[in-house]
Amino acid sequence: MTATDKTKFCRLIHQPSAISPMSNKETQVSSEELPIVLVHRLPSFKLPSKPSFNDHLLSDFHLLDPHDSPEPYDSFMSRHAPSIRALIIVGPTPITAEFLKLLPCLELIVGTSAGLDHIDLPACWSRGITVTDSGLAFSEDVADCAVGLLIDVLRRISAADRFVRGRMWPVKKEYPLGFKLGGKQVGIVGLGSIGSEVAKRLSAFRCSIAYTSRKKKQSVPFPFYANVCDLAANSDVLILCCALTEETYHIITKDVMVALGKTGVIINVGRGSLIDEKELVQCLVRGEIDGAGLDVFENEPNVPKELFGLDNVVLSPHCAVMTPQSFEALLQLISANLKAFFSNKPLLSVVSNE
Amino acid sequence: MTATDKTKFCRLIHQPSAISPMSNKETQVSSEELPIVLVHRLPSFKLPSKPSFNDHLLSDFHLLDPHDSPEPYDSFMSRHAPSIRALIIVGPTPITAEFLKLLPCLELIVGTSAGLDHIDLPACWSRGITVTDSGLAFSEDVADCAVGLLIDVLRRISAADRFVRGRMWPVKKEYPLGFKLGGKQVGIVGLGSIGSEVAKRLSAFRCSIAYTSRKKKQSVPFPFYANVCDLAANSDVLILCCALTEETYHIITKDVMVALGKTGVIINVGRGSLIDEKELVQCLVRGEIDGAGLDVFENEPNVPKELFGLDNVVLSPHCAVMTPQSFEALLQLISANLKAFFSNKPLLSVVSNE
């Protein structure tokens, strides 16, 4: 079957027709007549109940969730496969080339995260499948969290809270000094939507910004370093905001940390595997860098136990995106992307194949 | 003795003459010939060793510290009183009208903190004594800390750190959602140098700013509320940056907290007694406000024990000013004020008697 044949086959089997999803509420279309969308999730991942997927999507789409059905997964998938042109991924559920073979008619994958390292993007693109991500929905919240972690590490806020709750203030009297944020040289690794929001915020604290990314950005006033080691050597702080790809896996090596130096701080709101975590732990324990604020880890939810005793690290359970407001924005984006897809209109947050 | 007589008496006893303090290092003036400055501190307060008072001041001034002398305090003070025209206060050491009687020739009190509620200012002014404060030395660091506490409370960063260190991530899987900072209405109580720095920073997070202060400020673009209760009713967050005075004691009453509402957050980087602390604890425990970030308390170093069990509060041991950089800036300011005073030049951070 050629690609064109396949498209015809898929369209014949399932024709969502020219329903305008916007009008479903008024015309009380039954769910069977709505455009079908597969919910792709690991059995352990649940759809969030608040803000509710259902409120946003059920009136406009017929959601098929194999893990909600008593039917065995394989049977469910082969029965519905011909009608599935679009799917939503819940959280970081993997999409492999093997999985894609189950869905010969798939045209759209709606990702729900900023990082898409759980999706085999080349396999999608070779099949002509379009992938969307969370667009700008999470950018501000992740940037806020990055700045919060940085202030926390420099000014030792979580450690101060531990000091007070541990009844140490009346005993020790003095709390150790922190370090000033103003005037710090901040190197941003990955100046996409999150990195740009971080830069905007830290400029208001009188930090100097520089960055590295795949390419120099023409419209950006900040100094560009082609090499992360050079960026580290010229920075007091590194903030990791880039995607995890083959190129960025362990981009923060021991050499980069040594270049950052003994007073340097690393903030990671990207993915755990951007850093060689074993080396990071050693650098923190030995004082080869000064501190770290980590929202992500290589082997989540497991965190290296050596970090639990350190006051110069702040540990956060991969929750930089986690506000009701960002989920609300994400659900609106998912809905808008699906509506655009089923109306043959331009999608809003397509991942670029470049 | 009239004021004029007293000045003559004091000048006769001690004439620092027209020494230019800038030239002391070159001319190797002995410390006895330098302008005398009293170090006023409680015996329990030490001068910080790093950054060092000595490095900044000893080459230019002859520091007299009664608690460093074997001589009894009263005898030391009465022997040196006629030669003391200037003093430095270490930390929040009180200055009472009674204490001022010991120093008939005192003309300048160099304060070393942003808040001066430990100084009887009317008593100083009635004696014609000039008082200086920490000027802008601490403003940025306190503002950074206020923003850090706010992000921490909204995004539950210290609580997240506690969750991870307590090995709860692998057990509970999901960490509760925080709240978005962007779009929040922030009410600043006291738009002086600290409040203005807070406003500048939070504008970069897309917060809307309003404020209350003694008077509306003409050059400020933010909405002004004459009444703190009205400000609270129109805010999601209150940030307390004002001085503690008779007028601002317990300015945050239960009524203000109720006006702020169940989703409201209070950040205090001013003084503990700006808030009715008993009512604050009740409001937090009963969920009448959503959270608080507190660097200051009514009865430091004692913190109400009810707060230790709450995840919606962040507790910090009065360390918002505590960076080496801000102390360095303070020491330069102290030195510059003293040099200006002994050279009859304008002082840099005079507290206004208005």
User: What is the three-state SS of A190-238?
Assistant: CCCHHHHHHHHHHHCCCCEEEEECCCCCCCCCCCECCCHHHHHHCCCEE
Please check whether residue A212 is in contact with residue A227, taking contact to mean a CB–CB distance below 8 angstroms.
yes
The band of B51, judged by pLDDT with boundaries at 50, 70 and 90, is low
pLDDT tens digit string along B75-114? 999 999 999 999 999 888 999 999 999 999 999 999 998 8
CA B3/CA A176 separation, integer angstroms: 45
Q: Which residues of chain A does B181 touch, with a Cβ-Cβ cutoff of 8 Å? A: 144
Q: What is the pLDDT of residue A287?
A: 96
Residues A105 and A175 in one domain: no
Which amino acids of A are annotated catalytic?
271, 300, 318
The DSSP annotation for B92-140 comes to T--B-HHHHTT-TT--EEE--SS--TTB-HHHHHHTT-EEE--TTTTHH
Placement of tokens 């978005």 in the chain: B180
Nearest-Cα residue of chain A relative to residue B329: A180
Rounded (to 5) percent helix, strand, coil in chain A: 40, 15, 45
Whether residue A147 and residue B151 make contact (CB cut-off 8 A), yes or no, is yes
Together in a domain, A200 and A294: yes
Give the integer Cα–Cα distance in Å for A150 and A179. 11
Contact A177 B147 (CB under 8 A): no
The answer, for B178 touching chain A at a CB cutoff of 8 Å, is yes
Cα–Cα distance between B209 and B231 in angstroms, integer? 10
Q: How far apart are CA B229 and CA B219, in angstroms?
A: 23
Whether A350 maps to a domain, the answer reads no
- Per the DSSP assignment, residues forming a β-bridge with A40 are A89
Per-residue pLDDT of chain A (354 residues; tens, 9 = 90+): 444 444 444 533 443 333 334 344 445 567 778 999 999 998 877 666 655 676 778 889 999 999 999 999 999 999 999 999 999 998 889 999 999 999 999 999 999 988 889 999 999 999 999 999 999 999 999 999 999 999 999 999 999 999 999 999 999 988 888 999 999 999 999 999 999 999 999 999 999 999 999 999 998 999 999 999 999 999 999 999 999 999 999 999 999 999 999 999 999 999 999 999 999 999 999 999 999 999 999 999 999 999 999 999 999 999 998 788 888 899 999 999 999 999 999 999 999 887
CB contact under 8 Å between A151 and B155, yes or no, is no
Q: What is the pLDDT of residue A14?
A: 41
Residue-level pLDDT at B108? 98
Chain A closest-CA separation from residue B57 CA (Å): 22
pLDDT at residue A29, rounded to an integer: 62
A17 exposed, middle or buried (CB, 10 Å; 0-12, 13-18, 19+)?
A: exposed
Q: Find the distance separating the first CA and the last CA of chain B, reported in whole Å.
A: 28
- In 3-state terms, what secondary structure has residue A92? coil
Instruction: Please report whether residue A83 resides in a domain.
Output: yes
| Whether residue B79 lies in the annotated active site | no
Supply φ then ψ for residue B122, to 5 degrees.
Answer: -55, -40
| Full residue range of the structural domain in which residue B41 is found | 3-137+323-342
Task: Look at residue A48 in the predicted model and tell me its pLDDT.
Answer: 61
pLDDT of residue A321: 84
H-only helix segments in chain A: 3-13, 24-27, 53-57, 73-80, 97-100, 121-126, 139-155, 157-165, 169-172, 193-203, 228-233, 254-260, 277-285, 324-342
Strands A36-40 and B86-89: unpaired
What confidence score (pLDDT) does residue B80 get?
97
Long-range contacts of A216-223 (CB under 8 A, 24+ apart): A217/A191, A220/A191, A220/A196, A222/A188, A222/A191
Pair A297, A150 in one domain? yes
Q: Are A308 and B165 in contact (CB under 8 A)?
A: yes
B interface mutation test: which of A42, A164, A268 has the most B CBs within 10 A? A164
Contact criterion met (CB < 8 Å) for B152 and A147: no
DSSP letter string, B285-304: HTTSS-EEEES--TBTTB--
Residues B26 and B147 in one domain: no
Q: What is the model's pLDDT at position B297? A: 98
Examine residue B12 and state whether it is found in any structural domain, yes or no.
yes
Chain-chain contact of A161 with B163 (C-beta, under 8 angstroms): no
The answer to whether residues B182 and B45 belong to one domain is: no
Distance between CA atoms of residues A268 and A294, nearest Å? 5
Residue A26 neighbours by CB under 8 Å, 6+ apart:
none
Whole-number Cα distances in Å, A83 to A173, B33, B98, B132: 68, 95, 89, 77
Does A157 contact B152 at a Cβ distance shorter than 8 Å?
yes
ipTM surpassing 0.90, yes or no? Answer: no
Mean pLDDT of chain B: 90
Whether residue B121 is found in the same domain as residue B172: no
- Note the pLDDT of residue B14: 41
Name the nearest CA neighbour of B270 among B296, B246, B250, B293. B296
Clarify whether residues B167 and B299 are in a common domain.
Answer: yes
Min distance B19 CA to chain A CA atoms (Å)? 36
Burial class (CB in 10 A: 0-12, 13-18, 19+), A223: middle
Q: Which of A178, A182, A201 shows the shortest C-beta gap to B140?
A: A182
Distance between CA atoms of residues A154 and A267, nearest Å: 11
Q: Which of A157, A184, A205, A328 to mutate to test the interface with B (most CBs of B within 10 A)?
A: A157
Indicate whether B307 and B205 sit together in one domain: yes
C-beta atoms of B317 and A144 within 8 A: no
Cα A72 from chain centre: 31
Query: What residues in A contact B141, CB-CB < 8 Å?
Result: 180, 182
Q: Could you read off the pLDDT of B129-156 as tens digits, one per residue?
A: 999 999 999 999 999 999 999 999 999 9
Q: Does A173 contact B at CB distance below 8 Å? A: yes
- The answer to whether the CB of A41 falls within 8 A of the CB of A55 is no
B chain contacts of residue A145, beta-carbon cutoff 8 Å:
151, 155, 157
CATH number, domain with residue B220 = 3.40.50.720
In the sheet that holds A291-294, the strands lie side by side as A208-212, A185-189, A237-240, A265-268, A291-294, A313-315
Per-residue pLDDT at B277: 98
Report the residue from B145, B155, B201 with minimal CB separation from A148: B155
| Residue among A177, A201, A324 whose CB faces B205 most closely | A201
Residue B353 reports pLDDT greater than 60: yes
Give bridge partners of residue A209 from the DSSP assignment.
Answer: A186
Residue B255, domain member (yes or no): yes
pLDDT at B12 over 70: no
Burial-class residue B238 by CB neighbours within 10 Å (0-12, 13-18, 19+).
Answer: buried
Indicate yes or no: CB of B177 within 8 angstroms of CB of A327.
yes
Distance CA A135, CA A116 (A): 12
B316 lies within 8 A of chain A by CB: yes
The answer to whether the Cα torsion of B226, B227, B233, B237 is positive or negative is positive
Q: What angle do CA A280, A246, A132 make, to 5 degrees?
A: 110
A45 touches chain B (CB under 8 A): no
Find out whether B301 and B189 touch, Cβ atoms under 8 Å: no
> A169 and B145 in contact by Cβ < 8 A?
no
Please report which helix (H) or strand (E) contains residue B3, including its range: helix B3-13
Radius of gyration over every alpha carbon of chain B, rounded to an integer in angstroms: 23
**Shared domain check, A130 and A242:** no
| pLDDT 10s digits, B157-180 | 999 999 999 999 999 988 888 999
- Establish if B352 belongs to a structural domain: no
Q: Each residue of B241-263: pLDDT tens digit? A: 999 999 999 999 999 999 999 99
Same domain, A160 and A297: yes
Strands lying side by side in the sheet with B36-40: B62-64, B36-40, B86-89, B108-110, B130-132
Domain match, A178 and A211 both = yes
pLDDT at position B5 over 50: no
Alpha helices in B112-241 (DSSP H): 121-126, 139-155, 157-165, 169-172, 193-203, 228-233
Clarify whether B271 is annotated catalytic: yes
Distance from CA of A141 to the nearest CA of B (A): 6
Q: Does B179 touch chain A (CB under 8 A)?
A: yes
Residue B91's pLDDT is what? Answer: 83
pLDDT band at B281 (very low <50, low <70, confident <90, very high): very high
DSSP count for chain A of H helices, then E strands: 14, 11
The β-bridge relationship of strands A265-268 and A237-240 is parallel
Phi then psi for residue B331, to 5 deg, are -65, -40
Q: Which residues of B touch A178 (CB under 8 A)?
A: 319, 322-323
Residue B350 belongs to a domain:
no
Please tell me the distance from the alpha carbon of residue A300 to that of residue A117, in angstroms, as a whole number.
14
pLDDT at B2 over 50: no
Is the residue at B97 inside a domain? yes
- The DSSP letter of residue A244 is P
**Cβ–Cβ < 8 Å for A303, B164:** yes
B residues 77-136 lying closer than 8 A (beta carbon) to A: none
For A194, counting Cβ atoms within 10 Å of its Cβ (0-12 exposed, 13-18 middle, 19+ buried), the class is buried
**H or E, element range at B240:** strand B237-240
Structural domain count of chain B: 2
> Residue B279's pLDDT is what?
98
Question: Do A49 and A107 share a domain, yes or no?
Answer: yes
Q: Which two tokens stand for residue A15?
A: 């024709």
In a domain, B348, yes or no: no
CB pairs under 8 A between A and B: 161
Letter for the amino acid at A35?
Answer: P
Distances (CA, A) of A329 to A56, A131, A136, A243, B148: 11, 18, 9, 21, 25
Spatial separation of the C-alpha atoms in residues B46 and B36, rounded to whole Å: 19
Q: Are A270 and A241 in contact (CB under 8 A)?
A: yes
* Angstrom distance (rounded) from CA A211 to CA A230: 10
